[in-house]
Amino acid sequence: MRSDPPSGAVRPAKRFLGWRIAGLAVITAAMTGPGQTIGVSVSIDPLIAELGLSRSEVSAAYLIGTLGGAIALLPVGSWIDRVGTRRAMRWIGLAFGLGLVVMAGVQGFVTLVIGFTLIRWLGQGALTLVSSLSISHWFERRRGRVFGFTSPSVSGLMSLTPLILGLAVAAYGIRTAWLLAAAAVWLVVIPIGHFGIVDRPSDVGQLPDGDKLPASDASAAFAGAAAARIAFTRGQAITQPRFVLMSCVIATSAMVATGLNFHQISILTGAGLSATEAAAMFVPQIMGMIAVGLAVGALADRLPARVLLAASMLLLMCALAMVGNLEPGWQVFVYTILLGAGGGAHFPLVPTLLPRWFGLANIGGIQGVSMLVIVAASAVGPVTVALLAAGAGGYPEAAWWLISIPLVTGLGALWITEPARLSPSRPNPRTPADGMKPER
């Protein structure tokens, strides 16, 4: 485990680096686009034509690859804790690019599963995780507000992925498009990781949030911060009721929102829109995601977590309730905004709440479990919605069955309590020496 206090040889930076690192983290997180559903969706039809597979076979490969990527993600967070975000980002960027190269060479169902596993594990999972963690160490009091800005910014930049990849596919073909995506990842992520990321403020003689102290007090401040820090291990954190309840909320959000997004063209064309108009409704959905991200980020440092998590489920319930009454016009517009808001509210909440509840000493391993939950839940969302629609008689009927899930998890979120204050008298034998055991 890396120690927090800087050595005497460290030369303090003149300007607070946290804002620069937050901006660079937004760029690296946006580069996960080729491994996200919105990026992969552009390649589905070309892959079907290129490989001679059915749509069901490609969908099955995507499901298996996403679940495999979620499982492979579990040790990544703890590895990031050990090596630091700077080094981890370089290696993850290199590996993600190699995964995209594998996608360019797929020949059939098995190799397609391998390719999907790699890009979902390394893109959607690992690169997203290390980008988030690179911000977490630099902010404490302002963490919620910072993620309130960075999460919507990532969503906005990532929304360009289908357009850029679509143009590349149209101009050069699907295999060359994957190779170009790999080159872009290498040219952007690896240099940012090497030249732009600093693991912790203490590495350059700074404090979180850009707080200022006289130079003579800096070492004492770092030592005091380390001594006062919560330091849950991953095993301790994931057994806490607050972690379990929050995981239920984010799993519900990922499953329902991804399921509805996957079938959005079918849902909205059934409501009377053309396929082009239905595709255009992703724009107000992104608007809803950005708006709620800004609002939740601003409130995350002020309101109890249970209120914000329950509110996110209420937004999702409102979107589901509208599925049966969609018509061209304001109903569709409001529905997509609510879907974006309900599905995206947890983006700034997870990286804000987990360090506050469990500390930073093992935050990579802890947040990695949350990322696993999100990836796995997003994998089963499209299948769940499709099966419910087929069994219940349509998407409106499926939506009324689905609405019970956010209802239950939203009510459960109201039982979340904030952690007790630290007890400085008892060190935690299961955590590093610079942490303290939280009160039970």
Q: Which domains does the chain have, with CATH numbers?
A: 14-202 (1.20.1250.20), 230-417 (1.20.1250.20)
What are the tokens at 408? 């239950």
In eight-state DSSP terms, residue 203 is G
Q: Between these two residues, 75 and 230, which has the higher pLDDT value?
A: 75
Rounded Cα distance, 278 and 282, in Å: 8
Question: Could you give the percent of the chain with pLDDT greater than 90?
Answer: 46
| Angle, in degrees to the nearest 10, between helices 143-158 and 128-136 | 150
Rounded Cα distance, 263 and 213, in Å: 54
Q: Which pLDDT score is estimated for 58?
A: 85
Give the C-alpha distances (Å, rounded to integers) separating 3 from 79, 82, 220, 227: 15, 10, 14, 11
Rounded mean pLDDT, 132-149: 89
Q: What is the pTM of this model?
A: 0.80
Q: Where are the beta strands (DSSP E) in 346-396?
A: none
Rounded mean pLDDT, 364-380: 89
pLDDT at 431 over 80: no
Count Cβ atoms below 10 Å from residue 391 Cβ, excluding itself.
Answer: 10
Q: Which pLDDT score is estimated for 213?
A: 61
Q: Which pLDDT score is estimated for 229?
A: 58
Q: Which pLDDT score is estimated for 191?
A: 96
Rounded Cα distance, 310 and 299, in Å: 14
Which DSSP helix (H) or strand (E) runs through 1? none
User: 161-190 pLDDT, tens per residue?
Assistant: 888 888 898 899 999 999 999 999 999 999
What are the helix and strand counts (H, E) for the chain?
23, 2
What are the tokens at 101? 């190269």
Q: Between these two residues, 243 and 324, which has the higher pLDDT value?
A: 243
Spatial neighbors of 170 by CB under 8 A, at least 6 apart, are none
Chain-centroid distance, C-alpha 49: 31
Burial 106-121 (b: 16+ CB within 10 A, else e): beeeeebbbbbbbbbb
Torsion region of 418: left, alpha or beta (phi above 0 gives left; psi -120 to 50 gives alpha) = beta
Q: Which residues pair with 230 in a beta bridge?
A: 436
Terminal Cα distance for the chain, rounded: 24
User: 247-301 pLDDT, tens per residue?
Assistant: 999 999 999 998 888 788 788 888 888 877 777 777 788 888 888 888 888 888 7
